[in-house]
Amino acid sequence: MKEIQITTPIQVYKADELPEEDRELVDIAKQMTLTSYSPYSHFQVGAALRLRDGQIFKGSNQENAAYPVGLCAERTAFFAAGANAPKVPPVSIAIAAQTGGKFSETPIAPCGSCRQALLEAEVRFQQHIRIVLYGTESIWVARSVRDLLPLTFDGSQLP
Ligand code: THU
């Protein structure tokens, strides 16, 4: 038996250090928290997805009384992009969340299902997606979905 280590490189920024393009995306993600429909969790998540041609698709979490029917902010934005600009690769996504009128101090990370959904685009377009996770204390940036989902399952494993 041997053990392997898998490391996850994360860039940690203070708000005033963030590159302009990321800052713009974070601002939109923060605004989008206000469109969240989250009467059950009261956890308002916003996402902004930039495509290679500059288009930005926006999303927020949309809940339902039948809980599993609801959808996360990231996939709301991602699927809107897939439906409206199917041939344009996504290049970056910013995510922000607030509850009780306060943005989270620690960066909000996408759930496993959203990571898997985003991975599909990385595989499909052979293009890394930069993931910008907003927190009031620090902003974390991963350069690829694979950094947040290191042991991936994708279509290449299917017969
Ligand atoms: N949620 C997101 O929108 N994105 C995440 O990355 C984590 C969770 C939503 C789903 C649900 O509406 C609420 O947050 C609580 O889980």
Q: What is the pLDDT of residues 13-36, one digit of tens each?
A: 999 999 999 999 999 999 999 999
Give residue 9's pLDDT.
95
Give the whole-angstrom CA distance, residue 91 versus residue 102.
28
CB 71 within 8 A of CB 57: no
What is the distance in A from the centroid of ligand 1 to the CA of 45? Answer: 6
Ligand 1 contact, 114 CB (< 6 A): yes
Say if residues 35 and 96 touch (Cβ distance below 8 Å).
no
Task: Out of 74, 105, 122, 137, pick the active-site residue.
Answer: 74
Atom of ligand 1 nearest to the CA of 95: 6
In the structure encoding, which two tokens stand for residue 55, read together? 């288009």
Residue 120 annotated in active site: no
Q: Would you kindly state where each structural domain of the chain is located, as residue ranges?
A: 26-31+79-149
Please tell me what DSSP assigns to residue 149: S
Nearest CA to ligand 1 atom 14: 43
Residue 25 pairs in a beta bridge with none
Q: What are phi and psi of 75, to 5 degrees?
A: -75, -30
Q: Is 59 in the pocket of ligand 1 (CB under 6 A)?
A: no
Q: Please give the model's pTM, rounded to 2 decimal places.
A: 0.96
Residue 23 pLDDT: 98
For ligand 1, what atom is nearest to the CA of residue 70? 12
Predicted pLDDT of residue 45: 98
Whether 76 lines ligand 1, by a CB cut-off of 6 Å, is: no
> For residue 68, which phi and psi values (nearest 5 degrees)?
-65, -15
Helix H, strand E, coil C: the string for 15-74 is: HHHCCHHHHHHHHHHHHHHHHCECCCCCCEEEEEEEECCCCEEEEECECCCCHHHCECHH
